[in-house]
C-alpha cells in the first residue's frame, strides 16, 4: 500500500463555484477514488485562497469584512462539493492560523538556506486607486484602468521583497527536460520549456499596498512591514496543509491537479520555491483543460449563464460527473452542451449501463428468484479481465476518459453476450446448467462494472454493488475481488431504474 497525496488548486474566494471549479474537483475526485480502489492510502486536499486585494474589494463592495466574505464562500464551495460527492480529506483555507504561520515558516526556511534568494528592489507600475492594485498593459485603455476609467492612473514605485527566481532557471530546465512526467500533459510541458528558454525574471514576494494577506515575516530595510504577495501565499498551501494538526498528509504530494492557466506558477515558481527551501518537489503536476460553454471559457460571467446547481439537478450528480469526465478530455479543452449531455445520458447511462443492469437483475429474479448462481467462467469473464487491464493502464496515466471508455466497452460486450446466449430461450428449454453459467457471468460482470464505474458514478456504483448481492461499500472493496467477484451464492435484487429517461422523469 502506497501513499497518494493529491491536491487541486485552491479556489479564489471572489465568487460562487461554477462549472470550471466543479470540473477540476470531479476529475481529481475520480483519481482519488480510483487510487483508493487500488488500495492506496489517499489524502485528498482541496481548499480556498482567501487573501488578496480582490477579496478585500469585493467584501468592501458588499459592506462586509473580508473574513466574513471568505467564510460565506467557503461554506458555499463546501456545500457544492458535498453535493457532487467529492471525497476530499481536508479543506484548507489560507486565512487560518496554521496556513499563515506555515507560509512564514517556509519563507524563513528560504532566508536561512539561501539568504540571497530574497532581496529588496523597487517595483514600479501604473497603480489604480480604484482597484488598489498595479495594472498591466492589458488592463489599461487610453491611459486609464478599464475598470475605473474615470480615475487617473498613478505611476508608483515601492520597495518590496523579491525572490530570485532567475537563479533557478537551469534547475528548472533540467527538471523539465530530465523528468518529463513532472509536468503533464506534454503540450503544457512544451510551453514551459519554451518559456524557460526566454529566461526568467525575479518576482515580487511582498507588496507594500496589500492589506489582506499574510504578513511577510521580515520588514524591509526602512522598517516597513509588508504583506506576502500571491505566489508565496497561495502556492505553499500544499505544503502547509501537511502541517495542520488534524492532517495526515505527508509532503511531498504525489499529484497537483491544476488548470492550464496556472501551469506556470506550479511548474516554475513553486518548484523553485521548494528547492530554495530545501524541500522535495511534488511528483507530478497535471494541468487539465477547460470546459467551454458555447465556445467560451467558464468564468464568473459564464457561470451566470449556466447555473451549476441547476445543471446538477437536471440529471443528478452522478450523471453530471460522468458526462463531464467522459465528454471533456482531461488533457485538453472540451465543450459543455445540453444536446451532448442528453445524448450521452440516454445512450450510455440509460440504454447502456442502466438497461444492462435492469435486464440482468430482472432475469436473475425471474429465473433464479434472486439467487446468484456460481456457474463456470465464460467469455464475458475473459472480456472483463481484459477490460480491467486496459482500465488500469488508462487510469494510471490519468486518462479518465479512456478509463470510462473501457468500462462502457464492457457494457457493450455484456449486452452482446446476453443476445448471443438468449437466457430466455435457455429458461424455456430447461437448460439450467447453461442458464446458470450465463446468469452467473452477468452478475460478475455487474460487480466488475460497479467498481470500474465508481470513480465516475459513485452513487450508482453502490446501488449496483448491493443489487448483485455484494456486501459493504463498493468504494472500499478490494481491487483483487475483480478477478473473481464474490457474488456466487449471494442474493441479488432489482433496484429502481438507475437512469430514468427524461420523458419518464416528467
Q: Is 235 in the site for RNA (CB under 7 A)?
A: yes
Q: For residue 291, which of 8, 490, 27 has the smallest C-alpha distance? A: 27
The angle formed by the CA atoms of residues 37, 92 and 310, to the nearest 5 degrees, is 75
Q: Least distance to RNA from the beta carbon of 84, Å?
A: 19
DSSP H stretches of helix in 217-306: 230-234, 237-240, 263-264, 270-276, 300-305
The stretch near RNA (CB under 7 A) out of 29-37, 177-185, 190-198, 306-314 is: 190-198
Compare residues 36 and 315 and give the one whose CB is closer to RNA: 315
- Start-to-end CA distance of the chain, whole Å, equals 47
Q: Is 194 in the site for RNA (CB under 7 A)?
A: yes
Q: Is 195 in the site for RNA (CB under 7 A)?
A: yes
Q: Is 423 in the site for RNA (CB under 7 A)?
A: yes
- Kind of pairing between the strands at 206-207 and 203-204: unpaired
Q: Which of 27, 354, 403, 458 binds RNA (CB under 7 A)?
A: 354
CA distance 404 to 391: 8
- Return all residues near 468 (Cβ < 8 A) that are at least 6 apart: 361, 372, 443, 446, 447, 450, 485, 487, 490, 492
CA distance 217 to 226: 8
Q: Least distance to RNA from the beta carbon of 14, Å?
A: 6
Q: Least distance to RNA from the beta carbon of 356, Å?
A: 7
Residues 471-500 contacting RNA, CB under 7 A: 497-500
The stretch near RNA (CB under 7 A) out of 68-76, 264-272, 376-384, 432-440 is: 264-272
Q: Is 326 in the site for RNA (CB under 7 A)?
A: no
Compare residues 249 and 467 and give the one whose CB is closer to RNA: 467
Residue 271: C-alpha distances to residues 48, 50, 161, 211 (Å): 21, 22, 19, 27
Tell me, residue by residue from 97 to 136, as one string, x for binding to RNA by CB under 7 A and - for no binding.
Answer: --------------------------x---------xxxx
Q: Least distance to RNA from the beta carbon of 313, Å?
A: 18
Q: Is 58 in the site for RNA (CB under 7 A)?
A: no
Q: Is 10 in the site for RNA (CB under 7 A)?
A: yes
Q: Least distance to RNA from the beta carbon of 492, Å?
A: 13
DSSP letter assigned to residue 370: T
Q: Is 432 in the site for RNA (CB under 7 A)?
A: no
Amino acid at each position: 500500500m502506497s501513499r497518494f497525496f493529491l491536491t487541486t488548486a485552491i479556489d479564489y474566494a471572489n465568487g460562487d463555484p461554477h462549472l470550471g471549479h466543479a470540473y477540476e474537483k470531479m476529475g481529481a475526485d475520480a483519481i482519488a477514488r480510483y487510487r483508493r480502489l487500488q488500495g492506496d492510502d489517499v489524502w485528498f486536499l482541496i481548499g480556498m485562497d482567501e487573501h488578496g486585494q480582490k477579496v478585500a474589494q469585493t467584501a468592501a463592495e458588499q459592506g462586509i469584512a473580508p473574513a466574513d466574505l471568505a467564510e460565506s464562500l467557503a461554506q458555499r464551495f463546501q456545500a457544492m462539493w458535498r453535493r457532487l460527492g467529492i471525497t476530499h480529506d481536508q479543506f484548507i483555507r489560507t486565512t487560518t492560523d496554521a496556513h499563515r504561520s506555515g507560509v512564514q515558516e517556509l519563507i524563513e526556511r528560504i532566508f536561512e538556506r539561501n539568504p540571497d534568494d530574497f532581496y529588496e528592489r523597487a517595483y514600479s507600475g501604473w497603480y489604480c486607486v480604484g482597484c488598489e492594485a498595479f495594472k498591466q498593459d492589458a488592463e489599461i485603455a487610453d491611459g486609464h484602468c478599464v475598470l475605473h476609467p474615470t480615475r487617473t492612473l498613478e505611476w508608483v514605485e515601492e520597495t518590496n521583497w523579491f525572490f530570485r527566481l532567475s537563479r533557478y532557471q537551469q534547475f528548472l530546465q533540467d527538471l523539465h527536460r530530465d523528468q518529463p512526467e513532472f509536468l503533464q500533459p506534454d503540450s503544457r510541458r512544451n510551453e514551459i520549456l519554451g518559456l524557460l528558454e526566454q529566461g526568467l525574471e525575479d518576482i515580487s514576494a511582498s507588496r507594500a499596498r496589500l492589506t489582506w494577506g499574510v504578513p511577510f515575516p521580515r520588514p524591509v530595510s526602512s522598517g516597513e512591514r509588508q504583506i506576502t504577495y500571491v505566489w508565496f501565499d497561495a502556492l505553499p498551501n500544499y505544503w502547509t496543509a501537511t502541517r495542520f494538526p488534524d492532517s495526515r498528509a505527508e509532503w511531498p504530494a504525489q499529484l497537483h491537479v491544476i488548470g492550464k492557466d496556472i501551469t506556470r506558477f506550479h511548474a516554475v515558481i513553486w518548484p523553485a520555491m521548494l528547492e530554495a527551501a530545501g524541500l522535495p518537489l511534488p511528483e507530478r503536476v497535471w494541468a487539465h483543460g477547460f470546459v467551454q460553454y458555447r465556445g467560451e471559457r467558464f468564468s464568473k460571467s459564464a457561470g451566470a449563464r449556466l447555473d451549476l446547481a441547476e445543471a446538477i439537478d437536471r440529471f443528478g450528480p452522478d450523471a453530471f460527473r460522468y458526462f463531464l469526465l467522459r465528454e471533456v478530455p482531461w488533457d485538453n479543452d472540451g465543450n459543455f452542451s445540453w444536446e451532448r449531455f442528453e445524448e450521452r445520458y440516454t445512450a450510455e447511462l440509460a440504454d447502456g449501463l442502466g438497461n444492462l443492469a435492469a435486464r440482468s437483475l430482472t432475469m436473475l429474479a425471474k429465473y433464479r428468484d434472486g439467487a446468484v448462481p456460481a456457474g463456470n467462467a465464460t467469455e464475458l469473464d475473459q472480456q472483463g479481465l481484459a477490460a480491467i487491464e486496459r482500465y488500469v493502464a488508462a487510469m494510471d496515466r490519468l486518462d479518465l476518459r479512456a478509463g470510462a471508455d473501457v468500462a462502457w466497452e464492457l457494457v457493450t460486450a455484456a449486452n452482446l453476450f446476453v443476445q448471443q446466449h438468449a437466457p430466455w430461450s435457455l429458461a424455456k428449454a430447461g437448460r439450467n446448467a447453461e442458464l446458470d453459467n450465463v446468469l452467473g457471468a452477468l452478475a460478475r460482470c455487474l460487480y466488475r462494472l460497479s467498481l470500474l464505474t465508481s470513480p465516475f458514478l459513485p452513487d450508482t456504483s453502490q446501488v449496483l454493488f448491493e443489487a448483485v448481492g455484494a456486501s459493504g461499500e463498493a468504494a472500499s472493496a478490494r481491487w483483487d475481488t475483480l478477478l473473481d467477484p464474490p457474488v456466487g451464492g449471494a442474493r441479488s435484487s432489482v433496484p429502481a431504474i438507475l437512469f430514468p429517461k427524461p420523458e419518464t422523469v416528467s
